[in-house]
Amino acid sequence: MIEGNFIVLEGVDGAGTTTHTRILQEALMQRGLPVRATREPSDGPVGVLIRQILSGRCVVPGLHGSRPPSWTTMALLFAADRTDHIEAEIVPNMMDGVTVISDRYDYSSVAYQSVSAGEEGVIEWVKTLNAHARRPDLTIVLDIAPDVAEQRRIDRRAGREIYDDSDLQRQLADFYTKMETHFPDDRIVHIDADRSIDEVARDVMNAVRALRNEDPLS
């Protein structure tokens, strides 16, 4: 049995990772390829806890009232969720020959925890926590201007989350443009996500075709 590919989509909130995970899944399914879309935080037990923290449903006591857990706790939870996600979902599907597309992966941990910590040494520590995370075959980073991403988040009208802060998102967008400096051995493709969904989807598909040694679509 040939193992399935492992493809990751990354970007700031509102960049379109969820949209393009779904579109890519449908496009590959239409070609008869077995494919599974998944996401981080995952739908496993630790992932569910993280989602409750992100939405403000789960807090810890602080000096000035309740607050979200610190970035250190978040980094550990994300790493634990990732281990579970890999063991329960990613690797078993790949072993069955299924291509797995994940909406976010450990790049998000490195980006969000280092930017929200604002301290030296965080990147290396978070990378150490995730040292056993299986490397994707292809990582697609959706690059977007922070104000365009913010407008999309506003239009989508989802509830606010703890990382939903303009300044933090600006630093994240900058961090994402240089992601390969932190993951020099990974196959990382940047796509300009400031364009229409169709244009971005075509480039996402072409990145996957290149991975599979197929000619690009024009």
Ligand X SMILES: Nc1ncnc2c1ncn2[C@@H]1O[C@H](COP(=O)(O)OP(=O)(O)OP(=O)(O)O)[C@@H](O)[C@H]1O
Q: How far is CA 197 from CA 4, 11, 17, 93, 97, in A?
A: 26, 15, 11, 28, 29
In the region spanning residues 6 to 25, those forming contacts with Mg ion, defined by CB under 5 A, are 18
C-alpha span between 92 and 107 (Å, rounded): 22
Q: Which residue has the tokens 């807090």?
A: 59
Selected from 60, 95, 154, 197, the binder of ligand X by CB under 6 A is 197
Out of 4, 6, 7, 16, point to the residue binding ligand X (CB under 6 A).
16
Residue 156 contact partner, candidates Mg ion, ligand X, none, CB within 5 to 8 A by sort of partner? ligand X
**DSSP, res 89:** I
Q: How many helices (H) and strands (E) does the chain have?
A: 10, 5
Please tell me whether residue 136 binds ligand X under the rule CB under 6 A. Answer: no
Q: Work out whether 128 is an interface residue with ligand X (CB under 6 A).
A: no
- Between CA 151 and CA 153 the distance in angstroms is 5
Query: Which of ligand X, Mg ion, none interacts with 127 (beta carbon under 5 to 8 A by kind)?
Result: none
Residue 13's binding partner among Mg ion, ligand X, none (Cβ under 5 to 8 angstroms by kind) is: ligand X
Residue 121 Cβ vs ligand X, minimum distance, rounded to whole Å = 26
- In whole angstroms, what is the distance from residue 69 CA to residue 24 CA? 34
- CB of 15 or CB of 74, closer to Mg ion: 15
Of residues 28, 3, 1, 8, the one with CA closest to residue 186: 8
Residue 11 interacts with ligand X (CB under 6 A)?
yes
Site residues (CB under 5 A) for Mg ion, limited to 21-80:
none
Q: Given the rule CB under 6 A, which residues bind ligand X?
A: 11, 13-19, 152, 155-156, 193, 195-197, 200
